[in-house]
Amino acid sequence: MTADTRPRRKQRHPGLTLALDILNHGGLTIVALVFLFPFFWMVSNAVRGNAEVLAVPPRLLPTEWQWGNFVEAWLHLPFGRFFLNSAIVAGSVTAITIVVSSLAAYAFARLRFPGRDGIFVAYLGTLMIPQVMLVIPLFLIINQLGWVNTYQGMILPMAFSSFGAFLLRQFFLSIPRELEEAALIDGASRLRILISIIIPLSLPAIGLLALFTFIGQWNNFLWPLIVVHGMDYATLPLGLTMFQTEQGTSWNYIMAGAAISMLPGLVLAIVLQQVIYKGIAMGAGFGGR
Amino acid sequence: MTESISTQAAVAPVRRRNRMSAHETRMAFLFLLPSLLGFIAFMLFPIVASLVISFTNWQLISAPSFIGFANYQRLFTLDPAFYTVLGNTLFFTAEYLVLNIIVSLGLAVWISGLKRGQRWFRVIFFLPTFTPSIAASVVWLLIFTPGGFMDLVFQTLSLHVPNLLLDPRLAMQAVIIVTLWANAGYNMVLFNAALDLVPQSYLDAAKIDGANAWDRFWKIRLPLISPTVFFGTVMTAITSLQVFDQIYVITRGGPGSATATLGFAIYQNGFSNYQMGYASALAWVMFLIIMALTALQFWFQRKWVHYDS
């Protein structure tokens, strides 16, 4: 910071500034601890015996730390299987979304063809459609195809995001055309240009689209709830709701499962915090919640 | 950018130009094809199908027959649950939307004033938004459970508040608390990023002119970030009208039907009772409400959103 040479109307005492600073940080720390409490409560209840979870009044810390509960939940409940299903579904949807959106976005951004703007407006127009309205006909389609309880039934209806095409189009438009003109004159194909010029320059936008698509699908609940029956194809969020109704809910295992399901998102949020911050600023997450 | 193309075209004969644009159209079609097929199969067709189904009495097992506006008639005139569900949804959306904006904007402003540690507070408040809403709901269900941690807090503070999940008047508050915890961090980051872009020189100038922090917020920072706040408000309104996950896990619409929202009612009618026609009619009512509310917000923005010219 450069020294401020302009006259200040009111000069604060340095001690007062320090006191305000401490008050600010102290207040925010308290709010932050309240925000973090559910995470603490989850872990603290995951590693105690089930009887102790329901003790009244509840104890803050377990009398005995049973870290083995995580192994138990992973192997027997079986959150390991749910984790795998979540990874397969979220990973596939993300991969398809990236490929399909990049191709479509290039057509919207760079190629001239009849009906381009009309199709693009139709894409934009569907962004407000509530998911719960789509799932009824989607279920009837998937049911007709015999895809209930299959990976393709879980993946394909979620993999064609008009938002992805929109986001990448906006980014592609910001790339100077001159960069691809030389390649065009040399006779390079459009696909070649997309792969070797446009995509390398768009990695930040593509990475953000991948991140938010993956997290969105990892956390998705409504569609798996409708298209999956039984445990074999259940994802983590669906698996978490399966032990609620059983007699004598095993709260400690459910808390362990909740922690397992939260782990990838928490790691990504911490490691990629600067990327996410910039991405939300440019509208990559689409949306408010 | 179009200059070089037009100079090229001027040199080339017209026929070649036509061939080139036909080639370009063909290429565009190929590039767009996968996306377009998916869009038609999983978006356009379902939207049309949903509208058609809403005029039938389809129940999955029996063949559907066309019944005109009977589903909509039943909604508005016969089904006593509909107005409860509609009221619950609007109540949730109104209270949640206001609290979300207050909490997220408040935290964003508070954090933006820090010289150190801004990044870490931001990431802490953002963390819940990257967790599955179902996992968050399960954890909060344990916190709210009768005799659980929330009751302990009320007791310790000598507040005579009944258990939130057992009281029909308070159950929605539990849903709102969970939703706030899980989602307010998103708008907080959005607003924080916008605040970072407000030029420091504006604020310094106002300070010299004697504006206090309160005035600087209402007269400089808020107007400057108002397009972002507007965007966040519109998006949050659209998603909160659809609230479902938290309710499915925490209250199942109860006690009674105190927390049954439109999203929950659509799911129940469609996938518990298999009344696809009636559920689709409900879904269209939700969609129309979303559009109406969004239009209203766009109309209302003229009064408070400032765009740079």
User: A1: pLDDT confidence band, cut at 50, 70 and 90?
Assistant: very low
- Residue A209 in this model has a pLDDT that exceeds 80: yes
pLDDT for position A69: 87
- Residues written for chain A: 289
User: A137: pLDDT confidence band, cut at 50, 70 and 90?
Assistant: very high
Are B133 and A221 a contacting pair at CB < 8 A? Answer: yes
- Residue B5 in this model has a pLDDT that exceeds 50: no
Are A139 and A227 contacting, i.e. CB atoms less than 8 angstroms apart?
A: yes
- Chain B residues closer than 8 Å to A270 by CB: 123, 127
ipTM, 2 dp: 0.89
pLDDT for position A77: 80
Are A54 and B147 a contacting pair at CB < 8 A? Answer: yes
Are A158 and A222 contacting, i.e. CB atoms less than 8 angstroms apart?
A: no
Percent of chain B whose predicted confidence (pLDDT) is above 70: 93
Q: What is the mean pLDDT of chain B?
A: 88
- Chain B residues closer than 8 Å to A8 by CB: 207-208
Are A288 and B232 a contacting pair at CB < 8 A? Answer: yes
Q: Position B79: which residue type?
A: D
Kindly report the nearest CA distance between residue A200 and chain B, in angstroms: 18
Give the residue, A284 or A134, on which the prediction is more confident. A134
Nearest CA in chain B to A220: B132
Interatomic CA distance for residues A92 and A86, integer angstroms: 10
Interatomic CA distance for residues B27 and B12, integer angstroms: 21
Are A241 and B248 a contacting pair at CB < 8 A? Answer: yes
pLDDT for position A68: 86
Per the listing, tokens 């569609």 go with A223
What are B95-116's pLDDT values in tens digits? 999 999 999 999 999 998 888 8
Kindly report the nearest CA distance between residue A274 and chain B, in angstroms: 8
- Residue B3 in this model has a pLDDT that exceeds 50: no
Q: What is the mean pLDDT of residues B216-231?
A: 88
- Residue A247 in this model has a pLDDT that exceeds 70: no
Interatomic CA distance for residues B101 and B232, integer angstroms: 8
pLDDT for position A98: 95
What are B9-60's pLDDT values in tens digits? 444 455 555 666 888 888 889 999 999 999 999 999 999 999 999 999 888 7
Q: Position A152: which residue type?
A: Q
Are B187 and B236 contacting, i.e. CB atoms less than 8 angstroms apart?
A: yes
DSSP, collapsed to helix, strand or coil, labels residue A245 as: coil
- Residue B1 in this model has a pLDDT that exceeds 50: no
User: A287: pLDDT confidence band, cut at 50, 70 and 90?
Assistant: very low
Percent of chain B whose predicted confidence (pLDDT) is above 90: 55
Which of B132, B138, B278, B112 has the alpha carbon at shortest distance from A269?
Answer: B132
pLDDT for position A185: 87
R_g over Cα of chain B? 26
Give the residue, B266 or B158, on which the prediction is more confident. B266
Give the residue, A16 or B190, on which the prediction is more confident. B190
- Chain A residues closer than 8 Å to B51 by CB: none
Are B247 and B175 contacting, i.e. CB atoms less than 8 angstroms apart?
A: yes
Are B283 and A255 a contacting pair at CB < 8 A? Answer: no
pLDDT for position A10: 53
Most A-contacting residue of B1, B7, B35 (CB-CB within 10 A), to test interface: B35
What are A158-181's pLDDT values in tens digits? 999 888 999 899 899 988 888 888
Are B47 and A134 a contacting pair at CB < 8 A? Answer: yes
User: B2: pLDDT confidence band, cut at 50, 70 and 90?
Assistant: very low
Are A287 and B239 a contacting pair at CB < 8 A? Answer: yes
pLDDT for position B309: 47
